[in-house]
Amino acid sequence: MTSRAAAAPERRQLTVMFCDLVGSTAMAQRLDPEDLRALILRFQQLVRDRVARYEGFVARYMGDGVLVYFGYPVAHEDDAARAIHAGLDLVHAAQLLRPPLDSSVQPTQLRVGIATGVVVVGDRIGAGAAEEAAAVGEAPNLASRLQSWAEPQTVLVADRTQQLAGSRFVYAPPRELALNGYLQPVRAWAVVRPNPKRSRFDQTHPVALTPWVGRADELSRLLDLWRNATHGVGRLVLVVGEAGVGKSRLVQTLGERIVGAPFYRICYQCSPYHVDSALHPFIHQLEKAAGFAPGEAVSSRLDKLRRLLDAASPALAGATPLFAELLSLPMEGPAQSWPPERRRRETMAAILGRLRELALQRPVLLVLEDAHWVDPSTLELLGLLAAALPRLPVLLVVTSRVADTGQAWLQGPHASVLNLQRLTPQQAAELASHVAMPTPAAAEQLAQVVERADGVPLFIEELAKAIGGGLPTSEIPGSLHDLLMARLDQLGSAKETAQVAAVIGREFSREFLEALLPLPRTELDTALATMVDTAIVQRRPQGQVFAFHHALIQDVAYGSLLRTRRFELHGAIAEAIERLDASRAHTEPELVARHYALAGRPLPATRWWAQAALRALGRSANIEALRHSERGGELLPAVPEGAERERLELMLAMLGGAAHRALHGFASIHAERCFARALELSEKLGDVATQVDVHRGLFSWHYARGELGLARAQGQRVADIGNSSGDRAACMLGQWMLGSMSMWQGEFCAASRELELAVSLYRPEEHRLKTLAAQIDPGVNAMAHLSWVRWIAGDSDGAVEAGARAVHAARSLAQPYALTMALFFACAVRACRGEHDQAEPLLRELFAVTGEHRLDFLRACAWILRGQASIAADRCEDGLLAIERALSEFDELHAGIGQPWALAIAASGCSRLGRRDEALQKIAAAFAAIERHGERHWEAEVWRVKGELLWPSAQARGCLLRAADVAAQQSAGALRARALASLASLEK
């Protein structure tokens, strides 16, 4: 019996036994107090003796009852079975408790209840003789209630205990008990006797990464793929298997078995802590390959980076600034002036370029580990890499727990899937013998390993290590959780170090441990050495960096800490990152946020989630940005009410709106909700500067949806803010917003005046976007709209000049959103002038940019221009299909602007094909759209096309005159000229 409790309370799985004397109240009435005392003392001694055989812990004597723990203070692999054995021994030995000198008394009987569950154990409750090591959780209460339901001389066990013990015992059929305090019946099993026929180990235990053995067929297949790759035919294979089945070991063995010509082996490791960190596996690999040292000077790191790239190819020198930015190293270069999306794209191309250059030198074995934790940007880059593989001498091996065979990168003849199965009994025995060396295990012990591990390599490895470590045979685990807890318990004083390290993560540094643990340096070094010697952790080549040998060892160590202690440690880790590794806090703000969140400190966590979203937006990692902003939002209810919380919510709302807009388009309903909440908060806080950005966001949303009156209201608010505050930038924004609405509403004189004023107020340096994605430079936007207004007003040459200025300015800004808006209006002007040869290259570029940057709204607009060009070239069917596609995409995007224009063009195409009724339907739809939102800028053209369709009916002339009158009222000289030309042509 273990008699000493652990030093500090902790969480652990515990099997609890409650043993009670049957009929002790009646005995007290019949027996002399001295005899009763002697009986109870013998009962307690019996419990101590039987429990000691199975290394249980007597937690408390309660007169006629005893509370016993199995799995505390030291865990064993089969604690559930030990408890049942002890219970059976007790009921069988109960006859030894007959009172002395009184043969008339019936033999003494016992009842035993046993339950297993997670508890908090180790607190000392009471004082003196009443002191006990309390276990708090369901298991003690359940064991007590089961004891009260058990028949005399019966051991009654809970369902979980029966599962852990498995068929080591024979049970009576289970019973469903209505226990006091339980809402549902509780299943319980009465134990009959031990089962002499041992069964296979229970399969309901967690697993993790494992060593490799016995994968001859799988290895042969990978080697065949490698041979193909070395001949210039790149291959991709997804290795899929459950956690712990041996994926990593298989890949490692592949690298060891490759013979012949030299090759490069590059490994990218995904991480559960970085599922939202863009390109983390590539960043981590580059840092390791370059040999960066902790605390190293930036200049030294840049030198190492240059040498790394030069080793691949001198041609990569031009990409050094991109790699430097990826690694958060400051370096001057042209990439700094590029928009985030271009930098992101060029960075991915640079990464692929480095791999391509290495592959030109020698074949490459490329490994992406644990793809079930891949971040979206890495997944995108994986797709690009997979597409390039067939032309490279590269074998790409991806390991994952999930067989997502529908991924695009898995398609094609160069890709395949390899599913890893569990080991056969013969392979398991071979692995167990290998792991147990250099201490050869007895044949019986190895047979137990093979039986209980059930072919899962991690089970086999950990069981065999327990034998190799000199643990007694009885401590070979029956469950992985208990085994790992047993290994941690045997660390002694180093156990606390392992627990704290587990909170840091799978990988940790000595520096961080030292900051968290109040230990002398010698004690910390001793603890780390113990952890390395016992294979709990392994030392990385860097020397002072360590990693848990298996993920589940880390999980069990982490889970054994009390939640309050975890909170303390997560908070201390976040603070340590801020204090000791500011560069990492800057480059991985999501890591700091996650630790603060797990520390139960929502305020700093929310701040860091906002920083993470901001950084991701700046890198066009829009999916990650949205996730970060949402995680920050989830914590806001826990932040104390007040101005600080409202400022954080405002920032998260703005960032979330920007991310939604970048991902889903200007008309995203999710973006509108974010901006609406941001407006409410900014007004409450009196944050005028943010109000301008919010109104701008809401303006864009209403603009794209064609809700012109609501959009104008947003523009007017910005103009009012600018006028009242004297803020020239806000004045400029307001005039541009009002001018664009005047244009769409057919008020072309006002539009010209407002847009000209906006252009005159524009200063590029005042309008550079610093935080939000998916906005268009207002100067370019104003000039682009002005070009269209000039053409409609009849200033055709002025329109071309303004359009060219807008395109030139957009190119100088290197901003894709601005460029697409400028290209759209420049192309529209050229097309309406009949200059389709000049319009075509602009249109092709518009498609290229919108496709490259996923600008779905403007890409839909481009399809209208494509339809117009096709109809003008008498390819009317193609033109109508293009416009239908545009309108369909508008519907998907909830966009409504420009529909009268598009429908009028489509009606013209139908007319050329002789489909008059269909054309008139489109005209009717155009008029409905005009009335719905007041979009009158193309109203004259809709009347003109209707007049041409109705000719020679009496209504036709009236429609054409109406077109001319509307154009005259709007000062739309070009449209009036068109209407009069149509009338003259038809009256000939």
Provide block-wise average pLDDT over 10 residues at a time, the chain (988 residues). Answer: 57 93 71 77 86 90 89 85 92 74 66 94 55 80 94 94 86 93 92 64 33 79 94 94 82 87 91 82 91 86 94 89 91 80 90 94 94 92 92 94 79 90 84 69 72 71 67 43 78 91 90 88 93 87 81 81 92 92 90 96 97 88 92 96 95 94 87 95 92 93 94 96 92 96 97 97 74 71 97 96 96 87 97 95 96 88 96 96 96 92 96 95 96 94 96 91 97 96 85
| Same-domain status, 46 and 112 | yes
What pLDDT does residue 425 have?
84
Q: Could you identify the residue written with the tokens 């974010």?
A: 674
What pLDDT does residue 128 have?
40
2 and 74 Cβ atoms separated by less than 8 Å: yes
Rounded Cα gap, residues 547 and 537, in angstroms:
5
Q: Is the dihedral of CA 762, 765, 771, 774 positive or negative?
A: positive
Rounded Cα gap, residues 184 and 192, in angstroms:
25
Q: How many CA atoms lie within 13 A of 830 on its CB side?
A: 21
- The pairing of beta strand 110-125 with beta strand 154-158: parallel
138 and 117 Cβ atoms separated by less than 8 Å: yes
| Same-domain status, 97 and 144 | yes
Rounded Cα gap, residues 80 and 140, in angstroms:
14
Pull the structure tokens for residue 708.
């012109």
Pull the structure tokens for residue 413.
């003849």
What pLDDT does residue 3 have?
41
Q: Is the dihedral of CA 483, 489, 495, 496 positive or negative?
A: positive
| Same-domain status, 334 and 444 | no
Other Cβ atoms within 10 Å of 538 Cβ, number: 11
| Same-domain status, 169 and 33 | yes
Q: Could you identify the residue written with the tokens 């000493």?
A: 4
- The pairing of beta strand 235-240 with beta strand 110-125: unpaired
784 and 740 Cβ atoms separated by less than 8 Å: no
What pLDDT does residue 416 have?
93
| Same-domain status, 351 and 456 | no
Task: List Cβ neighbours of 143 (8 Å cut-off, separation of 6 or more).
Answer: 16, 17, 18, 113, 114, 115, 158
136: helix, strand or coil: strand
691: helix, strand or coil: helix
Between the alpha carbon of residue 17 and those of residues 139, 151, 156, 834, the distances in Å are 9, 15, 10, 92
| Same-domain status, 347 and 391 | yes
Task: List Cβ neighbours of 671 (8 Å cut-off, separation of 6 or more).
Answer: 657, 658, 660, 661, 664, 697, 701
Asked if residue 862 belongs to a domain, the reply is: no
| Same-domain status, 339 and 322 | yes
CATH number for the domain spanning 126: value is 3.30.70.1230
> Model's pTM, two decimal places?
0.76
| Same-domain status, 186 and 230 | no
| Same-domain status, 357 and 442 | no
735 and 755 Cβ atoms separated by less than 8 Å: yes
What pLDDT does residue 470 have?
55
Pull the structure tokens for residue 804.
């060219």
Asked if residue 621 belongs to a domain, the reply is: no
| Burial zone of 836 (CB within 10 Å; 0-12 exposed, 13-18 middle, 19+ buried) | middle
Query: Assign residue 706 a region: left if phi > 0, alpha if psi is -120 to 50, beta otherwise?
Result: left
Query: Maximum CA pair distance of the chain?
Result: 137
Strand partners, 136: 120
**End position of a domain, from candidates 395, 419, 443:** 419
| Same-domain status, 61 and 162 | yes
* Among 711, 749, 706, residue whose Cα is nearest residue 733: 711
| Same-domain status, 56 and 172 | yes
Rounded Cα gap, residues 652 and 602, in angstroms:
14
Rounded Cα gap, residues 782 and 767, in angstroms:
13
Number of domains in the chain: 3
Asked if residue 180 belongs to a domain, the reply is: yes
Rounded Cα gap, residues 305 and 291, in angstroms:
9
**End position of a domain, from candidates 473, 503, 536:** 473
Asked if residue 698 belongs to a domain, the reply is: no
- The pairing of beta strand 175-177 with beta strand 169-171: unpaired
Rounded Cα gap, residues 749 and 777, in angstroms:
23
Backbone angles phi, psi at 483, to 5 degrees: -60, -50
Pull the structure tokens for residue 936.
């009158």
The DSSP letter of residue 396 is: E
Cis preceding-peptide flag for 73 (omega within 30 of 0) = yes
Cα dihedral angle (461, 463, 468, 469), rounded to 10 degrees?
120
Rounded Cα gap, residues 941 and 929, in angstroms:
14
What pLDDT does residue 828 have?
97
Rounded Cα gap, residues 270 and 550, in angstroms:
15
CATH number for the domain spanning 387: value is 3.40.50.300
Helices (H), 327-417: 340-361, 376-388
Asked if residue 310 belongs to a domain, the reply is: yes
Cis preceding-peptide flag for 438 (omega within 30 of 0) = yes
745 and 715 Cβ atoms separated by less than 8 Å: no
The residue range of the domain holding 126 is 10-194
Q: Could you identify the residue written with the tokens 């020239």?
A: 728
What pLDDT does residue 2 have?
43
Asked if residue 58 belongs to a domain, the reply is: yes
Which amino acid, one-letter code, is at 443? A
* Among 252, 494, 515, residue whose Cα is nearest residue 365: 252
Other Cβ atoms within 10 Å of 309 Cβ, number: 24
Asked if residue 361 belongs to a domain, the reply is: yes
Asked if residue 682 belongs to a domain, the reply is: no
| Same-domain status, 400 and 441 | no
Which amino acid, one-letter code, is at 324? A
